[in-house]
Amino acid sequence: MKLKELESCLQQVDTFESPKLLLEQYPTRPHIAACMLYTIHNTFDDIENKTIADLGCGCGMLSIGSTMLGAGLCVGFDIDADALEIFNSNIEDFELTNIDMVQCDVCSLSDSMAEAFDTVIMNPPFGTKHNKGMDMIFLKTALQMAKTAVYSLHKTSTRQVSPSF
């Protein structure tokens, strides 16, 4: 699939009508999602036939894009039932079968759960004045899930999570 084709498909994904500020919800724009996923797929071969975890999946933009690029299975994790309702509607609209979702606080995911995935994707945490520190807890969880080298340029197979988080 070409980049423009992926972006065009992602423009059909429904997003938040009323984002929740305290959850730092914002829709991922189709262009950003397509570029990010296209790079992960074509440069690093980390999507096709892989098991993908989408942390803080919201309405499913990155999960749906991963599935369109041939992910073996994509599981979206989000704490918000309203976002997952939109995500479920998107899955039905696109008639996707290799995609699932779990309602949970991603900070509570276990190491054994993390080991079940080949690739972990997420929007970068940007933080808000109303949610200071929560984005760093979320990022720390994502880093802990990424226990193995993600790209060939990584020199080791494990990473240390900075205690300053």
Rg of the chain on CA atoms, in Å: 15
Instruction: Rounding to the nearest 10 degrees, give the CA dihedral for residues 149, 154, 158, 164.
Output: -120
Q: How many CA atoms lie within 13 A of 17 on its CB side?
A: 3
Give residue 122's pLDDT: 87
Is residue 17 included in any domain, yes or no? no
- Tell me the pLDDT tens digit for each residue of 78-115: 999 999 999 999 999 999 999 999 999 887 777 777 78
Task: Note if the pTM is more than 0.75.
Answer: yes
Give residue 131's pLDDT: 52
Q: What confidence category does residue 135 fall into, taking pLDDT thresholds of 50, 70 and 90? A: low
Higher-confidence residue of 134 and 33: namely 33
Please count the other Cβ atoms lying within 10 Å of the Cβ belonging to residue 160. 7
Is residue 161 included in any domain, yes or no? no
What sign for the dihedral angle of Cα 92, 98, 104, 105? negative
Please count the other Cβ atoms lying within 10 Å of the Cβ belonging to residue 49. 10
Is residue 159 included in any domain, yes or no? no
Is residue 19 included in any domain, yes or no? no
Is residue 105 included in any domain, yes or no? yes
Q: How many CA atoms lie within 13 A of 129 on its CB side?
A: 0
Pick from 11-20, 66-75, 130-139 the range whose average pLDDT is largest: 66-75
Domain range enclosing 142: 3-12+27-154
Is residue 104 included in any domain, yes or no? yes
* 35-49, 71-85, 114-128: range with lowest mean pLDDT: 114-128
- Mean pLDDT (whole number) for 9-29: 85
- Mean pLDDT (whole number) for 36-56: 94
Give residue 149's pLDDT: 46
* Domain CATH for 82: 3.40.50.150
Query: How far apart, in whole angstroms, are the C-alpha atoms of residue 159 and residue 34?
Result: 27
What sign for the dihedral angle of Cα 20, 139, 56, 32? positive
Q: How many domains does the chain have?
A: 1
